């Protein structure tokens, strides 16, 4: 598949929803992680990312406007040793607990399904990033079978020995709509630069100005394990 310009691909889609990108910087030195959220409703747009230990969590920007926290307040990023977990919901905690107990990423996600937000049935997207002895990552999407609330499809993608300058982008929605159509196909290959500020700006500027809410980016040095993180919130 053709490796695409990440920012330009984002500009083509007014509503990819929530998105995860995992890859390797062009200089080969770092693992690159991005997670963003978007929103159309007041409840979804009323959020910010805040640091929480080595990870992050979502938080209501204006607590008075928070109507239903069940699908909007969660920890998108948690870290367990040299493993970073990134998801678009509370399955972050499920994966963390399973890994801590010696089980696997897929073990955890086989206990979960898509979100119960009819009629969209938003997919649950997740990533597992390993930066210990070697660098690898996995991506997963749990989605309904063509909008059938009684049928779940679980897809897993495994990336070993990632290529320099290439990442894989997975998002919840194919595009805007009513109901919103779920993502289809394999994660999209996108180019990854070696400068975290340029990387962050490219993504944030590519996201639709009306619908974007928050962005988290992180580079993990593969030699030292040192992390560099950026958080951008529309609500400041």
Averaged pLDDT for residues 218-234: 98
Distance CA 206, CA 19 (A): 12
What is the pLDDT, as a whole number, of residue 194? Answer: 98
The helix (run of H) or strand (run of E) holding residue 98 is helix 91-100
Q: pLDDT by residue (tens digit) across 27-46?
A: 999 999 999 999 999 999 99
Distance CA 4, CA 6 (A): 6
Distances (CA, A) of 103 to 88, 96, 109, 213: 21, 10, 11, 33
| DSSP class of 182 | B
Averaged pLDDT for residues 138-155: 96
Task: Tell the residue number behind the tokens 């630069």, with chain if given.
Answer: 193
What is the pLDDT, as a whole number, of residue 236? Answer: 84
Q: What is the 3-state secondary structure of 16-51?
A: CCCEEEEEECCCCCEEEEEEEEECCCHHHHCEEEEE
What is the pLDDT, as a whole number, of residue 1? Answer: 75
Q: pLDDT by residue (tens digit) across 10-24?
A: 999 999 999 999 999
Q: pLDDT by residue (tens digit) across 61-98?
A: 999 999 889 889 999 999 999 999 999 999 999 999 99
Confidence of residue 119 (pLDDT cuts 50, 70, 90): very high
Give residues with Cβ within 8 angstroms of 185, minimum separation 6: none
Question: Could you give the angle at the alpha carbon of 91 between the alpha carbons of 173 and 76, nearest 5°?
Answer: 70
What is the pLDDT, as a whole number, of residue 60? Answer: 96
Averaged pLDDT for residues 114-141: 97
For the chain, the average pLDDT equals: 97
124-131 sheet: strands from edge to edge: 47-52, 55-60, 77-80, 83-87, 124-131, 135-145, 148-160
What is the pLDDT, as a whole number, of residue 34? Answer: 98
DSSP codes, 196-209: HHHHHHHHHHHS-T
Averaged pLDDT for residues 112-133: 97
Task: Say whether pLDDT at 5 is over 80.
Answer: yes
Task: Determine whether 182 is exposed, middle or buried from the number of CB atoms within 10 Å of its CB (0-12, 13-18, 19+).
Answer: buried
What is the pLDDT, as a whole number, of residue 93? Answer: 98
What is the pLDDT, as a whole number, of residue 207? Answer: 98
Residue 214 and residue 52 in contact, taking contact as beta carbons nearer than 8 Å: no
């Amino acid at each position: 598949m053709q490796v695409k310009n990440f920012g330009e691909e984002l500009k083509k889609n007014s509503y990819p929803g929530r998105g995860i990108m995992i890859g390797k910087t062009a200089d080969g030195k770092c693992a690159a992680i991005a997670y963003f959220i978007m929103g159309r409703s007041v409840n979804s747009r009323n959020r910010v990312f805040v640091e929480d230990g080595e990870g992050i969590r979502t938080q209501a920007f204006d607590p008075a406007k928070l109507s239903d926290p069940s699908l909007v307040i969660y920890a998108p990023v948690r870290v367990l040793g040299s493993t970073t977990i990134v998801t678009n919901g509370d399955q972050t905690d499920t994966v963390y607990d399973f890994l801590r107990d010696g089980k696997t990423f897929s073990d955890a996600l086989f206990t979960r399904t898509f979100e119960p937000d009819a009629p969209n049935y938003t997919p649950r997207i997740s990533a597992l990033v390993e930066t210990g002895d070697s660098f690898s990552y996995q991506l997963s999407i749990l989605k309904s079978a063509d909008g059938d609330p009684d049928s779940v499809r679980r897809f897993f993608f495994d990336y070993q020995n990632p290529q320099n300058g290439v990442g894989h982008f997975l998002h919840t929605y194919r595009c805007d709509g009513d109901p919103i159509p779920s993502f289809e196909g394999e994660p999209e290959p996108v180019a990854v630069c070696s400068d975290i500020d340029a990387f962050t700006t490219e993504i944030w500027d590519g996201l639709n100005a009306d619908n974007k809410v928050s962005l988290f980016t992180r580079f993990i040095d593969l030699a030292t394990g040192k992390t560099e993180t950026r958080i951008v919130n529309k609500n400041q």
